[in-house]
Amino acid sequence: MATELTPAVHEHHTSTGLDNTKMAMWGFLGSECLFFGSFISTYLLYRNQTADGPTSADLYDIPYTSVSSFVLLMSSLTMVLALAACHRSDQRGMRAWLLATALLGMVFIGGQIYEFTEFAHQGLGLDVSPFGSSFYVLTGFHGAHVTVGILMLLLLVGMSMFNRLGSDDSRKVELIGLYWHFVDIVWIIIFTVVYLIPS
Amino acid sequence: MATAAAQESLFRRPTATTGWWSWVTTVDHKKIGILYCATAITFFVIGGIQALAIRTQLAVPNGTTLTAETYNQFFTMHGLTMIFLVVMPLGVGIMNYMAPLMIGARDVAFPRINAFSYWVFLLGGLFLYSSFFLGGAPDGGWFGYAPLSTELPGNGMTFYSLGLQILGVASLLGAVNFIVTILNMRAPGMTLMRMPVFIWMTLVTAFLLLFAMPVIAVALFELMFDRVYNANFFNPATGGDPVLWQHLFWLFGHPEVYIMILPAMGIVSDVLPTFSRKPIFGYAAIVFAGIAIGFMGWGVWAHHMFAVGLGPVANSAFALSTMFIAVPTGVKIFNWLGTMWKGDLHFDTPMLFAIGFVSMFIIGGLSGVTHAIVPHDAQQTDTYYIVAHFHYVLFGGAIFGLFAGMYYWWPKVFGKLLSEGLGKIHFWLMFIGFNLAFGPMHILGLEGMPRRTYTYPDGMGWNLWNLVSTVGAFIIAVSIAVFLVNAVLTKRKGREAGADPWDGRTLEWSIPSPAPEYNFAEIPIVKARDDFWHRKYVVKPDEQVTPVVAGGAVAAHEDEDDPGHGIHLPAPSFLPAMAAPGLPIMAYGVIYSWPLIVLGGLLLLLALFAWVLEPSEVDH
């Protein structure tokens, strides 16, 4: 791989040979698995506790959510292309793909905001039923994670534009990529468990 | 390195190495370790005062010292303080100072995140305590059972849900930091199976934190949404299930028990060999027992819920797993006994606390196994028997072990030995006071005295043992005062310790005391377990042990003019201490006014942006 040819100027030697920041990110993502796992368990426990409010069958618009899910999945592809450009030292290409990733993320978030308002109009509030509470809080925290990812992507673009991102710093792109892919995978699980499995 | 980019930073980099400003901007794991321990001891005194108030109230029947309302706040805050603001941070503080030294590293993997963890911890603690001045502290118990916790009036339990959330952020970041540090920053030759047992237990603790904190985070978020935004997670009226809270809480809560006890076990596993002049007995066994406890700790949580009525199958399964986890714990106890067996025992103060740990922990462990028996537990649930049990584990265990560590490593941190005379007075007073305070609670519990109740009537046969317990609590308070006096006197006129006062076995004793800023002038090459001991002694073929002639050539670099020259150290930074207040500001915003959430979020975001742009090292 191209990275192996670049002399590791500022890489510190580590006992395992793995990069410190990458190991930290993997650890953090391991922790996140239990975070989303607990919220998903809560949702599974409550998905039929609708307390005479709207049920999931009344609300979910599967074709609509499929499209926004597809948009989010495509952002993983653009993220991979951004990292590949970064490895080629193609800063412009990297910025373009990072921006595309952030943009797809924003489309997804926009879709989620629309979905939330739509559900609220149809009578599903946070305070209506355990189903409502667990739905909004689970998908809301996922949306918050995507938003943090978008901010980090934009920060990367900014750093690259002002030359604060050296060519040996592909690690930063890779780290944020790891986070981004993780958030996407979580969405695949949420989409399957929350939307596709009928109540 | 891109120096041009490195020097233009948002702020001028702080350069002070002394004075209080240096403590605010420090990223040195040693200073952060001291900050953690000093803060934890301060909270220990505060939590202790609450305990004394509780014991004064309960000294006689129909006590009138505290109102029921204050009593509820005090026992809740006593529990929260001792768990989240004393035992955990004291362990983290000792880890912080010692872990890099014991694995031969110059700092932790992420020094600025380390500093950020400390500031978040401190502000989280202050946030929790600010509730006393803002309408009342949390009063629903440290376990916060719903629906009581969702329906208690006032903001107390909202402070609980947010305060623990903030403290959780600090713990989670600390866990990631220590996992990477221990796995990645070991000196050459320091293989995993050569690491001191304390380092192993730190690693297991960090993994437990990594996976336990997100679970409690979810439970606390759900509680917060219920309380503040009228969500229905735990509201039975709409189909919410309060038992969900118990599952989430104890799925965190039981690993939490091991998060508190494993560091103390690690400390004791390093103290006992030093004062027995023997290597630890069965190193591999004690390490694997620690790992086994870490795994099995995830499969026992429902033994806290036997009274809920989960059904006979679940109860039996958790009863079995709970009995089974006593096996690796028992293995450790035999490791410790085997280490002392036929050893050349030296009863210095750290050794006394270590032996106190082992003996008190055995009592607490045994009463713990009795809870595994479901019918027995059904009798003891919510009585003082439980209070007795967990104080034997967490005070007789964790606190004794942590004091062993403090007496053991004090000379390494401050360069002076704590007074042995006062240390022994401290130990014996604490040992006697502890047993007087908590031993009788076994009997009170078996006689049916309920816990968490602010008073009790006369004529129940509980008067004598309650009085004894109160006397014991005050004896503990005196012992802590002796410790504090000892600390002050030692600072003024303590005996100089030298690099290696205890004939230590591990790397931290190979460098001068107090440890220099750069830790090791040269990164050591590790050739054996207990490497430093092997540098000092030779074992002849007839098993005769003789000191090496140039014995323990401690820190040969000391007479060089400028030993730290040319060593790159992480540069101090304002940003961790600037970013941390963002979290409590956001938390106040949740309670009082949403614009504060935005403000705190922006502060956090801006500080983190500046952080990313700030290089972690500065070229000299």
pLDDT at B370: 92
Task: Give the pLDDT band (50/70/90) at residue B549.
Answer: low
Mean pLDDT of B582-591: 97
The residue with tokens 């800063």 is A91
pLDDT at B554: 54
Using alpha carbons, select from B105, B78, B212, B164 the residue that is nearest to residue B567. B105
Nearest CA in chain A to B611: A155
List all residues 6 or more positions away from B402 whose beta carbon is below 8 Å from its beta carbon: B87, B90, B91, B94, B263, B264, B267
Q: What ipTM was predicted for this assembly?
A: 0.93
Task: Give the pLDDT band (50/70/90) at residue B563.
Answer: low
CB contact under 8 A, A129 and B239: yes
- Count Cα atoms within 13 angstroms, Cβ side, for B305: 27
- How long, in residues, is chain B? 620
Measured on CA atoms in the order B224, B228, B232, B238, is the torsion positive or negative?
A: positive
B308 and B338 co-located in one domain: yes
Nearest CA in chain B to A20: B180
From the list A16, A32, A127, the residue facing B214 with the nearest CB is A32
Task: Give the pLDDT band (50/70/90) at residue B8.
Answer: very low
CB contact under 8 A, B233 and A23: no
B457 and B590 co-located in one domain: no
Q: State yes or no: cis peptide before B375, omega within 30 of 0.
A: no
A7 touches chain B (CB under 8 A): no
B276 and B141 co-located in one domain: yes
CB contact under 8 A, A24 and B235: no
CB contact under 8 A, B183 and A30: no
State the CB neighbour count (10 A cutoff) for residue B97. 26
- How long, in residues, is chain A? 199
Q: How many helices (H) and strands (E) does chain B have?
A: 22, 4
Calpha distance A111→A119 (Å, rounded): 12
Please check whether residue B498 lies inside any domain of the structure.
no
Please check whether residue B608 lies inside any domain of the structure.
yes
Predicted confidence (pLDDT) at residue B556 exceeds the cutoff of 60: no
Calpha distance B137→B584 (Å, rounded): 16
CA distance A120 to chain B (A): 14
B483 and B580 co-located in one domain: no
Are residues B358 and B418 in contact, defined by beta-carbon separation less than 8 angstroms?
no
B277-328 pLDDT, tens digit each: 999 999 999 999 999 999 999 999 999 999 999 999 999 999 999 999 999 9
From the list B5, B210, B230, the residue facing A126 with the nearest CB is B230
pLDDT at B7: 42
Q: What is the DSSP letter of B450?
A: B
Q: Strands B545-547 and B537-539, how do they pair? A: antiparallel
Q: What CATH number should be reported for the domain holding residue B483?
A: 1.20.210.10
- For B7, the domain range is 1-27+571-620
The CA dihedral of B163, B290, B300, B371, to the nearest 10 degrees, is -100
Mutate to test the interface with A, among B110, B192, B218 (most CBs of A within 10 A): B218
B492-547 pLDDT, tens digit each: 988 999 999 999 999 999 999 999 999 999 999 999 999 999 999 988 888 788 88
B364 and B238 co-located in one domain: yes
A151 touches chain B (CB under 8 A): yes
B84-124 pLDDT, tens digit each: 999 999 999 999 999 999 999 999 999 999 999 999 999 99
State the CB neighbour count (10 A cutoff) for residue B326. 17
pLDDT at B6: 41
Please check whether residue B565 lies inside any domain of the structure.
no
Q: What is the DSSP letter of B555?
A: T
Predicted confidence (pLDDT) at residue B375 exceeds the cutoff of 70: yes
B521 and B592 co-located in one domain: no
Give me the DSSP letters along B402-431: HHHHHHHHHHHHHSEEPPHHHHHHHHHHHH
Please check whether residue B290 lies inside any domain of the structure.
yes
pLDDT at B544: 82
Task: Give the pLDDT band (50/70/90) at residue B557.
Answer: very low
Which of these three, B516, B541, B560, is where a domain ends? B560
B398-436 pLDDT, tens digit each: 999 999 999 999 999 999 999 999 999 999 999 999 999
CB contact under 8 A, B248 and A15: no
Give me the DSSP letters along B322-377: HHHHHHHHHHHHHHHHHHHTT------HHHHHHHHHHHHHHHHHHHHHHHHSHHHH
Residue window 27-66, chain A: list those with CB within 8 Å of chain B: 27-28, 30-32, 34-35, 38-39, 42, 45-46, 49-51
B514 and B593 co-located in one domain: no
CA distances from B109 to A32, A117, B362 (A): 21, 44, 36
A23: chain B residues, CB-CB within 8 Å: 179-180, 183-184
Buried b vs exposed e over B500-532: b needs ≥16 C-beta within 10 Å?
bbbbbbbbbbbbbbbbbebbbbeebebeebbbb
Task: Give the pLDDT band (50/70/90) at residue B552.
Answer: low
A5 touches chain B (CB under 8 A): no
pLDDT at B257: 95
Give me B352's structure tokens. Answer: 């006394």
Please check whether residue B566 lies inside any domain of the structure.
no
Nearest CA in chain B to A40: B218
Share of chain B above pLDDT 70, in %: 94
B13 and B102 co-located in one domain: no
The CA dihedral of B456, B245, B214, A132, to the nearest 10 degrees, is -140
Conformation bin of residue B246: beta by default, left when phi > 0, alpha when psi is -120 to 50: alpha
Are residues B78 and B54 in contact, defined by beta-carbon separation less than 8 angstroms?
yes
A127: chain B residues, CB-CB within 8 Å: 229-232
Residue ranges of chain A with per-residue pLDDT less than 70: 1-12, 166-168, 199
Interface residues of chain B, partner chain A, Cβ below 8 Å: 1-2, 5, 109-110, 172, 175-177, 179-180, 183-186, 190, 210-211, 213-215, 217-219, 221-222, 225-226, 229-233, 235, 238-241, 244, 248, 605, 609, 612-613
B403 and B484 co-located in one domain: yes
Predicted confidence (pLDDT) at residue B448 exceeds the cutoff of 70: yes
Please check whether residue B484 lies inside any domain of the structure.
yes
CB contact under 8 A, B1 and A163: no
pLDDT at A198: 77
B276 and B194 co-located in one domain: yes
pLDDT at A10: 42
B311 and B195 co-located in one domain: yes
From the list B109, B239, B248, the residue facing A20 with the nearest CB is B109
pLDDT at B559: 46
Please check whether residue B616 lies inside any domain of the structure.
yes
Give me B580's structure tokens. Answer: 């941390």
pLDDT at B458: 95
Please check whether residue B159 lies inside any domain of the structure.
yes
Strand partners, B416: B496
Helix (H, G, I), strand (E, B) or coil at B496: strand
List all residues 6 or more positions away from A119 whose beta carbon is below 8 Å from its beta carbon: A54, A59, A135
B388-397 pLDDT, tens digit each: 999 999 999 9
Per the structure, how many domains does chain B have? 2
B476 and B605 co-located in one domain: no
A20 touches chain B (CB under 8 A): yes
B186: chain A residues, CB-CB within 8 Å: 15
Are residues A142 and A133 in contact, defined by beta-carbon separation less than 8 angstroms?
no
Task: Give the pLDDT band (50/70/90) at residue B614.
Answer: confident
Task: Give the pLDDT band (50/70/90) at residue B5.
Answer: very low
